[in-house]
């Protein structure tokens, strides 16, 4: 790899990381020596690239770096195209249109020689033919999440029973054929997941969450991890009991 390319890649590594990156980690990714990374860091600092850190601890890139945001490699373009194809096929109408607009903006910003990677991509996302039909506007759900607004739902469970719920939506999860609204449920006093195709009606309320969405997402992740550990322990227990019976 040329030194100029390596310097650019070091900047990319630091840009995408939220934590300090060690010279060892950069050397492994770039397939070069740690000594070369130290020299490259010194060269970038000499060019006034705002890198902070020191050997043995790690490096971070300050926000002051002014750099063209769309100096894309072919791999990055193909990754963007694949992701956009997935959203176009499985997102709500507003998100699908946004993905198409994103591809158009990328195409307008890259050199002519790279445009075939968007116009005639060699990688495709298979359409979701059996996708469940949403009963509500997911754009409205995304708006409620982004604005920290509570929602009121009429929700039908797997047995066909309908209940009213007031929720604090924090995540909209996309599975292969279904969408899941992850939220704190005021009715159940716990985190719950709601399939969008079972939401019969939904209203965004004026009332905001009493907690920050980021804090709620941390609590949600911890709750999911605890639930997964509990389920795994139960499965291990059943497997052990089955093995004892066979013995």
- The pLDDT of residue 134 is 84
Spans of the chain below 70 pLDDT: 54-55, 65-70, 242-247
Q: How far apart are CA 168 and CA 100, in angstroms?
A: 30
Is the Cα torsion angle 181, 185, 190, 194 positive or negative in sign? negative
With 0-12 CB in 10 A as exposed, 13-18 as middle and 19+ as buried, what is 91?
buried
- The pLDDT of residue 83 is 95
The token pair at 214 is: 């980021």
Q: How far apart are CA 92 and CA 98, in angstroms?
A: 10
- The pLDDT of residue 244 is 61
Q: Give the CB-side neighbour count of residue 93, counting CA atoms within 13 A.
A: 5
Q: How far apart are CA 177 and CA 174, in angstroms?
A: 8
Q: How far apart are CA 83 and CA 106, in angstroms?
A: 13
Is the Cα torsion angle 109, 110, 112, 118 positive or negative in sign? negative
- Write the CB contacts of 204 (distance below 8 Å, at least 6 apart in sequence): 140, 143, 144, 149, 150, 151
């Amino acid at each position: 790899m040329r030194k100029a390319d390596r310097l650019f890649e070091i900047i990319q590594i630091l840009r995408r990381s939220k934590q300090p990156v060690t010279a060892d980690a950069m050397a492994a990714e770039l397939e070069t020596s740690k000594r070369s990374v130290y020299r490259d860091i010194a060269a970038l600092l000499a060019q006034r690239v705002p890198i902070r850190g020191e050997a043995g601890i790690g490096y971070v890139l300050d926000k002051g770096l002014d750099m063209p945001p769309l100096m894309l490699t072919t791999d990055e373009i193909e990754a963007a195209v694949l992701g956009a194809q997935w959203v176009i096929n499985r997102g709500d109408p507003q998100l699908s249109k946004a993905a198409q607009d994103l591809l158009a903006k990328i195409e307008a910003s890259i050199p002519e020689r790279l445009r075939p990677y968007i116009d005639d991509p060699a990688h495709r996302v298979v359409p979701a033919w059996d996708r469940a039909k949403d009963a509500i506007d997911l754009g409205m759900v995304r708006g409620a999440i982004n604005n920290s607004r509570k929602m009121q739902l009429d929700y039908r469970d797997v047995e066909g029973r309908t209940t009213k719920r007031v929720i604090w939506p924090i995540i909209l999860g996309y599975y292969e054929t279904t969408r899941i609204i992850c939220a704190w449920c005021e009715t159940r006093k716990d985190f719950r997941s709601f399939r969008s195709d079972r939401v019969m009606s939904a209203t965004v309320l004026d009332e905001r969450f009493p907690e920050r969405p980021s804090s709620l997402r941390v609590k949600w992740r911890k709750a999911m991890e605890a639930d997964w550990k509990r389920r795994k322990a139960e499965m291990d227990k059943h497997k052990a009991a089955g093995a004892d019976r066979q013995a």
